[in-house]
Amino acid sequence: RIAYVNGLYVPHAEAVVHVEDRGYQFADGVYEVCEVRGGHMVDERRHMERLVRSLNEIRIRQPMPLAALGVVLRETVRRNRVRNGFVYLQVTRGVARRDHYFPDPETPPSIVVTARAADPAKGEAVAAQGIAIITVPDNRWERVDIKTVGLLPNVLAKEAARQAGAREAWFVDRDGNVTEGGSTNAWIVTGDGKLVTRPAESGILRGITRTVMMEVAEKLQLRVEERAFTVKEALGAREAFVTSATNFATPVVRIDGQSIGDGKPGPVARALRENFHKVAEIAR
Ligand code: PMP
């Protein structure tokens, strides 16, 4: 495997950043994960737009023009011979002596890109079964709209899920409303067939998959309501599911040990999953 690190393609096993990198010292950086399908990136444009937004929000300068970044992403995919899988991109505020204040503005941001293959059959098997999730208090900071590498609450929540025999954890805010998953957006389907997901204005990352699924829903003539929902409403929902670049739409069949709907993956989540790649942008 090959990784891109600050201008060089290096063997993955030797791909390192300095101990004084601000990503390492302060989680002072942002990232993106983009699906690779048939050797091509899925929704690259939207992921790059969100990257630029994340960088702007924390005032890291854009390390290179987006066209150049696109070349690096594609080259990393190519060198790793990834047909189906994911490409990961991380940008940090660079290497500087440990000090909370921003470093000298001349400090170049650090860029790392990795790519790896993933067997689509595995994801399909998981989706066919449906996943169990748990709920945990949302103890994150307010700026979860920024895709930062500061993911400790997400790490702890997902590990708690795994220890409980589940795959994902849904964060719940102080009002009892579900915000999102540890690495996914959260959705339910109401008794009258409406899709419900939390508005992206607060409490969640605006998932690219979430945005694209809204278009998929429209094509399938499903109604979408962007509003908050409680754990109680989710427990009584007809279906629940999660979305992300790595999960597309994956049905949730158990929440905190209680079955959702008939306890099997529902038709709405399945239809969204099946139609996702007809709507997602795949550059060739
Ligand atoms: N919320 C969180 C906290 C995430 O980490 C992710 C995945 N990066 C998502 C939502 C889903 O975003 P996307 O659809 O862009 O992968």
Domain ranges across the chain: 2-118, 123-279
**CATH no. for 2-118:** 3.30.470.10
> What is the rounded distance in angstroms from the CA atom of residue 263 to the CA atom of residue 133?
13
**CATH no. for 123-279:** 3.20.10.10
| Residue 118 contacts residue 35 (beta carbons within 8 Å) | no
Q: Mind listing the pLDDT tens digit for each residue in 68-106?
A: 999 999 999 999 999 999 999 999 999 999 999 999 999
Q: Is the pLDDT confidence value at 217 over 70?
A: yes
| Whole-structure pTM value | 0.97
How many angstroms does the Cα of residue 106 sit away from the middle of ligand 1?
A: 31
Is the ipTM higher than 0.95? The answer is yes
For ligand 1, whether the C-beta of 135 sits within 6 Å is no
| Residue 63 contacts residue 10 (beta carbons within 8 Å) | no
Annotation says 147 is catalytic: yes
For ligand 1, whether the C-beta of 247 sits within 6 Å is no
> What is the rounded distance in angstroms from the CA atom of residue 123 to the CA atom of residue 113?
23
* 97, two tokens: 């002596």
Q: Mind listing the pLDDT tens digit for each residue in 155-206?
A: 999 999 999 999 999 999 999 999 999 999 999 999 999 999 999 999 999 9
How many angstroms does the Cα of residue 145 sit away from the middle of ligand 1?
A: 10
For ligand 1, whether the C-beta of 217 sits within 6 Å is no
Instruction: Report which ligand 1 atom has the smallest distance to the Cα of 245.
Output: 16
